[in-house]
C-alpha cells in the first residue's frame, strides 16, 4: 500500500491552502491507500491560530486531522495522525510518527521543549522522531543522537531540499528514512511517500513498519 507521510491541512497549518475534507479523496484518486496528516505544531502556528494557551492550541491542531479523518472514513481511506514540530531557537522541523490525540492533549507544550527533551518523551511513548528535510536551505542537520531518522526525500517543489544530501546523511548514521510530498497545495499531491506490503490502518502499525524497514521510499 502507498502511504503519504507528510501532509498539511488548511485548518491547522497556516501555510497550507487545501481544506482537510478534500485531501483523502485527492490521494485516493492518485492511487494512494492512506495518508498521515502532519500539521505544523509550533509557536508561529499557535500565534496565528489565536489560541492563548497550549491546551487550546492542541485542540486547534487536532481540527485538521479530525476533519480529514471524517472525510476519509466516508470513503474507506485511512487517515493517520502525525505532526511536524518546530522547537525554540531553531528553524528545524521534526516529524512525529506513532502519536495519538491523547498524546497531543497530554503534552500540549511539546513545541516548547528542547530536541533532547522531545526525543526522551518520544522514546518513552514509543513515538518515532524524524528530522524533516534536514538539508533544506534554512535547516541544519540535528544531532543524530536525538533522532530516530530523517526525511531523506521531500517532494515539495517550492523548496531547495537537497534530497541527495539528506539521503547520504541518513545512510551515514543508519537512520530510519522517510519520504513525503510535504503537501500544502493542490500541485503537491503524490510527490512522495512510502510503499509497503503490510496493512497500515493505524499509527501503531505505521510505527512498526517504519521500525522494521519493511517498506520502500516513493521518490517520483
Give pLDDT tens digits for 91-112.
999 999 999 999 999 999 999 9
Topology (CATH level 3) of domain 2-218: TIM Barrel (3.20.20)
Q: How far is CA 48 from CA 10, 52, 89, 165, in A?
A: 12, 10, 19, 33
Q: Enter the pTM of the model.
A: 0.97
pLDDT digits (tens, 9 = 90+) for 191-214: 999 999 999 999 999 999 999 999
Note the pLDDT of residue 129: 98
Confidence of residue 44 (pLDDT cuts 50, 70, 90): very high
Do residues 28 and 2 make contact, with C-beta atoms less than 8 angstroms apart? no
188 pLDDT band, cuts 50/70/90, is very high
Average pLDDT estimate for 170-190 = 98
d(CA 64, CA 69): 9
Q: What is the pLDDT of residue 121?
A: 98
Q: Grid coordinates in use for 151?
A: 526525511
What does the domain layout of the chain look like in residue ranges? 2-218
Amino acid at each position: 500500500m502507498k502511504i503519504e507521510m507528510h501532509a498539511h491541512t488548511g485548518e491547522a497549518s497556516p501555510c497550507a491552502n487545501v481544506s482537510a475534507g478534500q485531501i483523502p479523496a485527492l490521494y485516493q484518486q492518485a492511487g494512494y491507500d492512506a495518508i498521515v496528516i502532519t500539521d505544523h505544531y509550533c509557536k508561529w502556528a499557535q500565534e496565528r491560530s489565536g489560541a492563548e494557551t497550549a491546551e487550546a492550541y492542541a485542540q486547534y491542531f487536532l481540527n485538521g486531522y479530525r476533519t480529514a479523518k471524517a472525510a476519509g472514513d466516508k470513503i474507506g481511506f485511512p487517515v493517520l495522525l502525525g505532526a511536524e514540530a518546530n522547537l525554540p531557537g531553531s528553524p528545524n522541523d521534526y516529524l512525529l510518527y506513532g502519536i495519538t490525540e491523547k498524546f497531543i492533549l497530554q503534552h500540549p507544550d511539546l513545541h516548547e521543549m528542547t530536541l533532547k527533551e522531545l526525543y526522551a518523551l518520544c522514546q518513552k511513548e514509543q513515538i518515532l522522531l524524524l528530522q524533516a528535510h534536514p538539508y533544506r536551505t534554512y535547516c541544519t542537520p540535528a544531532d543524530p543522537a536525538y533522532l530516530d531518522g530523517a526525511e531523506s526525500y521531500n517532494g515539495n517543489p517550492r523548496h531547495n531540499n537537497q534530497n541527495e544530501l539528506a539521503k547520504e546523511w541518513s545512510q551515514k548514521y543508519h537512520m530510519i528514512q522517510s519520504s513525503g510530498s510535504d503537501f500544502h497545495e493542490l500541485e503537491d499531491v503524490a510527490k512522495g511517500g512510502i510503499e509497503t506490503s503490510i496493512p497500515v490502518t493505524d499509527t501503531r502499525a505505521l510505527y512498526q513498519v517504519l521500525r522494521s524497514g519493511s517498506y520502500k521510499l516513493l521518490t517520483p
